[in-house]
């Protein structure tokens, strides 16, 4: 989807089909939401979009609308409105309004600020209360105490027509902090939309053969054991089962990491998630839904991901020190002034001024602004970061585990020696390859088109399942497909033949991603040692490891990978796991931080903290470098915020801070922190 024309074409084009009630495009997320009659089935919708010229992937499930973010934006708007109006009144007081008009301005401020604080401060109050109830503190505790005390004292001041009211300070604080939260949420929402747009539901369903011979499309979660399922060439298997008819080459790399397709025949077992490369298969379902092997892996992943929630983000770690320090300081101030002979009221006033001036305004912005700017830069470089804590964890990583198939390699077969195909045969081969959806054909078509070959005009092109494509090039029959003869049994060879001529064999193999060696070297320079972990055979793994100059572990099952990650973690290493397949899922979830290519299975993308688009592996060291730079800026921001406190707190403790000074100091320190964070805009270059 590129432009307004595409939106109109999709929406009007879909609506013109029978059975479609409405279609609505979400351009930002690159999704279309279709309301249709029950008789229209999923594959038909994909075909309709295909006919309009758009490749569509059904989403496994529709993402729920983001209510949390909406609430935050709405609170931010309220705080902004109240802040501006209270500030207007405060400025008049500061510039000398006195007597009855000052009291009136204070009352008006109270009228605006108190409901606004109650409404806009709710996210902080709720989170602080939740933390306190469990006997912990977080950043929201000092914020809530500061804001509540400041509001209460200002109300008292207003009622007794006192000198200073702090309504503007309290609401300004909420505004800045809410801005930080909204930015944080926007980053997560953007990454989630991006990741789900890339997400390809591996097999949303299957064609089920009923007892009376009719076929019907059934969603994966509605398939039951004992049913008979038809799996066409190029389709993913939706449920575990046993082959009852047909034979074919099957790509099981999603489950095992094994790159070479396996030849399966009647009686062999198929697992959900495998890709059928050859002929059509009839499969008797033995396990569906939650009983599938694939679902078991998903559960293992969920368990392994539990430790993530125990990770304490840097802002909360800072607040563990910060909150007690601030509260001690203001209690000391209160006691000090009492001892020095001031009245209770005066001492309380100064103690509250200390609380307000130390309220973590800049601290609340220090982390989210830096992370939002950095993740925006990374997104432009093709790396989606799912949340801010992923950047923090990535900066801490000191060890890399790389999966082979699909991560270090492209995970799709590439023609190895195209030169063996005679130049005069290439246009015809391209024309045949383009007409097929078989993975080898698509790969061949891509490679030939990249070489500048123009497809020949063929007539009578037909696909014979399991055999290949045939057609006529100016009345000479041409064929592209499974090689004849016993020597080339497996699925990674394709033969092209013209007329009665000799068949030309094209060999396919999985290649390294571009810049894979440079990426591993770059990671080494950053102090991260790499190890290759693969489910593939040793003979397939060792040449890859050799060319990258790293050690390798072969024939690792999913549980082995997870165990390795956990063992390294217990040894004190912080592991960055890079993997793509379902077999990497548990390891991705168990690792300290993880990254997956966008070509990964949806399970892999969901388990990983980051997803990189594009083929080049150089994205991994780039992301690590950006994360380190972000962490450096976050630390600078903390230093700036603490430096500001070091300057302002003695003033506040001496009782010299007025609301005017507090307002100036808070906005200035926030601006400096934001400006410092903006330096990260070019971090992903």
Partner 1 sequence: MTGLVFLIPIALGMGLIGLVAFQWALRSGQFDDPDGSALRILVDDDEPDRIL
- How deeply is 520 buried, as exposed, middle or buried, from its count of CB atoms within 10 A (0-12, 13-18, 19+)? buried
How would DSSP label each residue in 580-592?
Answer: -SGGGHHHHHHSS
> Least separation, in Å, of the C-beta of 28 and partner 1?
5
> Least separation, in Å, of the C-beta of 201 and partner 1?
22
Partnered with residue 509 across adjacent β-strands are 414
Part of the chain binding partner 1 (CB under 8 A), chosen from 83-91, 253-261, 403-411, 599-607: 83-91
Query: If binding means CB under 8 A, how many residues of this protein chain bind partner 1?
Result: 27
- Position 91 contacts partner 1 (CB under 8 A): no
Residue 298 has a CB neighbour count (10 Å cut-off) of 18
Measured from the CB atom, is 65 or 96 closer to partner 1? 65
Kind and range of the H or E element at 478? strand 476-481
Measured from the CB atom, is 24 or 216 closer to partner 1? 24
- Position 122 contacts partner 1 (CB under 8 A): no
> Least separation, in Å, of the C-beta of 74 and partner 1?
6
Q: What SS3 class is residue 201? A: coil
- Position 56 contacts partner 1 (CB under 8 A): no
Residue 51 CA: distances (Å) to CA of 44, 54, 233, 446:
10, 7, 20, 21
Measured from the CB atom, is 29 or 42 closer to partner 1? 29
Of these, 20, 34, 85, 601, which contacts partner 1 (CB under 8 A)?
Answer: 85
Residues 6+ apart with CB under 8 A from 3: none
Of these, 65, 96, 341, 571, which contacts partner 1 (CB under 8 A)?
Answer: 65
- Position 88 contacts partner 1 (CB under 8 A): yes
Measured from the CB atom, is 24 or 299 closer to partner 1? 24
Going by C-alpha positions, the residue among 678, 653, 11 that lies closest to residue 333 is 653
- Position 70 contacts partner 1 (CB under 8 A): yes
Of these, 28, 499, 501, 543, which contacts partner 1 (CB under 8 A)?
Answer: 28
Going by C-alpha positions, the residue among 433, 564, 611 that lies closest to residue 506 is 433
Partnered with residue 595 across adjacent β-strands are 578, 610
Q: Token digits for 422?
A: 């005679």
Residue 86 in contact with residue 167, Cβ under 8 Å?
yes
Measured from the CB atom, is 76 or 662 closer to partner 1? 76
- Position 26 contacts partner 1 (CB under 8 A): yes
Extract the runs of DSSP E, i.e. beta strands, from 185-335.
Answer: 205-209, 215-219, 228-231, 240-245, 248-251, 262-264, 269-270, 275-276, 281-287
- Position 437 contacts partner 1 (CB under 8 A): no
Of these, 47, 101, 437, 547, which contacts partner 1 (CB under 8 A)?
Answer: 101
Kind and range of the H or E element at 598? none
- Position 78 contacts partner 1 (CB under 8 A): yes
Give the torsion sign (CA, 339, 343, 346, 347): positive
- Position 118 contacts partner 1 (CB under 8 A): no
Contact string (CB under 8 A) for partner 1, positions 214-243, x = contact: ------------------------------
Report how far residue 333's alpha carbon sits from residue 330's, in angstroms, rounded to the nearest whole number.
5
DSSP state at residue 134: T
- Position 12 contacts partner 1 (CB under 8 A): yes
Part of the chain binding partner 1 (CB under 8 A), chosen from 12-20, 140-148, 153-161, 655-663: 12-20
Rg (CA), the chain: 31
- Position 21 contacts partner 1 (CB under 8 A): no
Based on the residue annotation, tell me whether 403 is a catalytic residue of this protein: yes
Part of the chain binding partner 1 (CB under 8 A), chosen from 80-88, 384-392, 491-499, 525-533: 80-88
- Position 42 contacts partner 1 (CB under 8 A): no
Measured from the CB atom, is 9 or 446 closer to partner 1? 9
Kind and range of the H or E element at 260? none
Residue 180 in contact with residue 372, Cβ under 8 Å?
no
Of these, 21, 22, 27, 420, which contacts partner 1 (CB under 8 A)?
Answer: 27
DSSP state at residue 236: B
Select which of 316, 403, 425, 584 is catalytic. 403
Of these, 53, 68, 77, 484, which contacts partner 1 (CB under 8 A)?
Answer: 77
Q: Within its chain, how far is the Cα of 592 from the centroid?
A: 16
Residues 6+ apart with CB under 8 A from 79: 116, 120, 171, 174, 175, 178
- Position 59 contacts partner 1 (CB under 8 A): no
- Position 9 contacts partner 1 (CB under 8 A): yes
> Least separation, in Å, of the C-beta of 117 and partner 1?
15
Going by C-alpha positions, the residue among 672, 682, 630, 627 that lies closest to residue 176 is 672
Which residues are the active-site residues? 403
Residues that bind partner 1 (CB under 8 A): 3-4, 7-9, 12-13, 15-16, 25-29, 65, 70, 73-74, 77-78, 81, 84-85, 88, 101, 108, 112
């Amino acid at each position: 989807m590129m432009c307004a024309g595409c939106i109109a074409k999709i929406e009007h084009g879909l609506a013109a089909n029978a059975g479609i009630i409405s279609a609505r495009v979400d351009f930002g997320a690159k999704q279309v939401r279709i309301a249709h009659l029950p008789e229209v089935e999923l594959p038909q919708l994909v075909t309709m979009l295909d006919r309009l010229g758009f490749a569509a992937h059904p989403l496994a499930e529709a993402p729920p609308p983001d209510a949390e973010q909406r609430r935050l934006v709405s609170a931010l708007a309220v705080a902004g409105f109240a802040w501006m109006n209270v500030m207007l009144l405060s400025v008049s007081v500061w510039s000398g309004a006195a007597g009855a008009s000052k009291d009136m301005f204070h009352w008006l401020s109270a009228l605006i600020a108190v409901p606004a604080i109650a409404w806009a401060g709710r996210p902080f109050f709720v989170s602080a209360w939740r933390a306190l109830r469990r006997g912990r503190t977080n950043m929201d505790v000092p914020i809530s105490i500061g804001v509540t005390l400041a509001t209460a004292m200002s109300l008292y001041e207003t009622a007794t027509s006192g000198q200073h009211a702090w309504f503007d300070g309290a609401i300004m604080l909420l505004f800045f902090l809410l801005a930080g939260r909204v930015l944080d949420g926007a980053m997560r929402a953007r990454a989630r939309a991006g990741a789900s747009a890339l997400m390809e539901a591996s097999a949303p369903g299957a064609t089920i053969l009923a007892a009376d011979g009719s076929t019907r499309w059934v969603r994966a979660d509605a398939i039951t054991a004992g049913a008979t399922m038809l799996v066409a060439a190029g389709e993913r298997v939706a449920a575990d089962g046993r082959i009852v008819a047909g034979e074919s080459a099957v790509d099981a790399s999603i489950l095992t990491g094994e790159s070479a397709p396996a030849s399966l025949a009647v009686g062999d077992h198929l697992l959900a998630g495998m890709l059928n490369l050859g002929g059509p298969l009839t499969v008797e379902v033995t396990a569906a839904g939650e009983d599938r092997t694939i679902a078991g892996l998903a559960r293992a992943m969920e368990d392994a991901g539990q430790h993530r929630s125990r990770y304490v983000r840097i802002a909360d770690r800072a607040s563990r020190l910060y909150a007690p320090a601030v509260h001690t300081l203001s209690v000391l101030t209160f006691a000090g002034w009492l001892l020095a002979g001031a009245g209770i009221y005066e001492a309380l006033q100064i103690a509250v001024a200390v609380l307000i001036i130390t309220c973590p305004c800049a601290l609340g912005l220090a982390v989210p602004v830096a992370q939002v700017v950095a993740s925006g830069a990374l997104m432009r470089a093709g790396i989606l970061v799912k949340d801010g804590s992923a950047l923090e964890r990535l900066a801490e990583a000191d060890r890399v585990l790389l999966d082979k198939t699909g991560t270090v390699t492209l995970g799709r077969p590439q023609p190895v020696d195209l030169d063996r195909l005679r130049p005069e045969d290439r246009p015809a081969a391209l024309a045949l390859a383009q007409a097929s959806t078989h993975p080898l054909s698509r790969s061949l078509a891509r490679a030939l088109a990249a070489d500048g070959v123009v497809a020949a005009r063929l007539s009578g092109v037909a696909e014979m399942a399991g055999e290949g494509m045939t057609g006529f090039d100016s009345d000479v029959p041409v064929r592209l497909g499974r090689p004849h003869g016993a020597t080339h049994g497996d699925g990674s060879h394709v033969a092209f033949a013209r007329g009665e001529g000799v068949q030309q064999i094209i060999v396919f193999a999985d290649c390294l991603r571009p810049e894979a060696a440079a990426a591993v070297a770059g990671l080494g320079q950053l102090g991260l040692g790499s190890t290759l972990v693969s489910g593939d055979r040793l003979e397939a793994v060792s040449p890859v490891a050799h060319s990258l100059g790293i050690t390798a572990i072969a024939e690792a099952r999913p549980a082995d990978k997870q165990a390795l990650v956990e063992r390294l973690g217990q040894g004190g290493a912080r592991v960055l796991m890079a993997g793509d397949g379902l077999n990497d899922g548990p390891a991705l979830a168990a690792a300290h931080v993880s990254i997956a290519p966008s070509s990964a299975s949806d399970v892999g993308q969901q388990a990983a903290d980051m997803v990189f688009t594009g083929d080049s592996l150089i994205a991994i060291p780039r992301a690590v470098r950006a994360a380190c730079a972000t962490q450096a800026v976050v630390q600078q921001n903390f230093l700036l915020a603490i430096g500001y406190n070091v300057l302002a707190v003695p003033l506040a403790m001496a009782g010299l801070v007025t609301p005017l000074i507090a307002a100036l100091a808070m906005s200035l320190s926030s601006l400096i922190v934001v400006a410092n964070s903006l330096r990260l805009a070019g971090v992903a270059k």
